[in-house]
Structure 1
Amino acid sequence: MAECPHFTHLLVIPRIRVQNANSISSPLTHGFPSMTAFLGLMWALERKLSETGLDLQFNAVGVVAHHHEEQITQSGFVSTLRLTRNPINKDGSTAAIVEEGRMHMEISLVFAVQSETPPANAEAAQLLARQVRDQLAQLRIAGGSVIPSSAPPHKQQPFMVNMPEDDEAKETLFSRIRLRLLPGFTLVDRQELLEQRHDALREDNPDASRLDAWLSLSRINWHCVANEDPDKKPEWVNDKKGGGWIVPIPVGYGALSALQAPGLVTNARDGQTPFRFVESLYGIGEWISPHRLQKPEHMLWYADSQADDGLYRCANDYRPVVLHDFD
């Protein structure tokens, strides 16, 4: 099982306002960009910083959503994406442009940083954090544009902290960091819920697949429960109540073909990199308030690539904490 890579610092870029980001995260899900988009942003930012001479290695990234506004029109139970009207061709026909769902959002990014030349003091760390923020503002985030934030100036200040090696000291420091990310929600992996639902479905239907379990967790399932009082009507309950903000998410890509040599596939974007066809992999996530997280690894997402098995996944080390054990 993969574990979050080691890091020496946490770099927090708070209150980033993004306009027209891609809200369609996969062929089957929408509502917020996929974590693959933020991992791609992390690597693009690392390359851009390297060009400016900054020696920073980003090993993982966490995202806290403070505000999201998907550009949709609701009519009853049906939601329709608000699409733009693109220019037509010279002959009056519609241009062959594939539309994508758009959303506006305000987020904070948390980067797990490994550096061979760490900042000498707090002032140098603050300067470095501002340089990273300035470079980030020049990039696209999930296809969206970074625009000036409406948050108060003191809430927009990026910061970088050195994470101690001692676990207890690290958790104490993170407890202060996470409070600066409120109010908001961060996405964590809840793959164990998928396995639990799959086991429950197989009790009634031995042929139930993990896709059935994924679809079951992705919707509200109503059940009629008999009332203890025979004079009262049965009660309808749903399995979402009290279960948290559970959502279906894409978690990476699975190979559909063998790895092809660089330049062998026509019209590939990069002729210098090996190429293979892939499809989306799906899992279950939960939006949770940062103040409920015990350590930074619970928030961070990192790449777990297993090329020999054809798996290119985003991984997260969140584990729910049991507050009470009545057994």
Structure 2
Amino acid sequence: MSESGQSRVELAHRELGSTGLSVTEVCIGTSPIANMAGLYGYEVGEERAIETVLAVFDSPFNFLDTSNGYGANGESEVRIGKAIARVGGLPDGFVLATKVDPDPATRDYSGARVRRSIEESLERLGLERFDLLQLHDPEQISFEEGTAAGGPLEALVALKEEGLVDNIGVAGGPVGLLQQYIDTGVFDVVLSHNRLTLLDRSAESLFASARERGMGVMNAAPYGGGMLAKGPEAQPKYAYGARDDRITEAAIAMRDACGRFGVPLAAAALQFSTRHPLVHSTVVGVSAPERVQQTLDYLAVAIPDELWAELADLTPSKDLWLD
């Protein structure tokens, strides 16, 4: 046990594509600590958020993902910055990735806004540069706007050339749009959420394309926004929205199958992603210190091949997947 009471678990470290970054198979996501009650349905106080980040620093995980736009006035970054200050700086070997976001008031997503976004993030986090900076939710603007002269893509490339960031990525949802961005050939990493889970396989073609290019692949939201962690009755929404009843029925059948093997559904959902050959790191959001240890516990669960086969048979049909 560490001083914090966490058991030490050996995690797989993987090279994140061609970035030169060695990261753990799980990346801790920090949108839940930004106190976004409207999205998650609960409040997260500042001290709890800081203690959560400190628990991550004291764990085997070496990868943290945040964003300029998580919470009012960048609350996630503010809280992470306070945790970093408490330990006297980002721990050695730790990778912290953030994302640029449009202006929260005007929704401006120009190249100039991208520069302001990174400046805000550096100040909040108390850092001088980033290993990885990602274009967040590009679906908020058209691809033409994103790639136009003076737009966010041009600004990201310039920030990399200037040495403020070592690697740039694109992080969002829609598979087709993300494919357009990686086809530009300028990105080092791609992140998609909710589209490679026990219930959905729509990101596989995107991730395969990225791997062929030597890019890093991050798969976020393996629990589908909570359905595969809290259970389909407690969280009937998938990917933060209402879905076809057949998605819920599949989740219930999967939970029952896991129960017959004594395996938590959340453990199977997490390991489905971590064992997937296209994924370098799986982004899992946590909102309390004990969730860090719980994630480690899920990774340690032994899951028999018979259960994996049964879960594969229960996968919803392609017409129910996200785009």
Q: TM-score, normalised by structure 2?
A: 0.29
Structure with more relative contact order (C-alpha pairs < 8 Å, separation 6 or more): 1
Select the structure that is richer in helix.
2
TM-score by length of 1: 0.29
Is the strand fraction higher in 1 or 2? 1
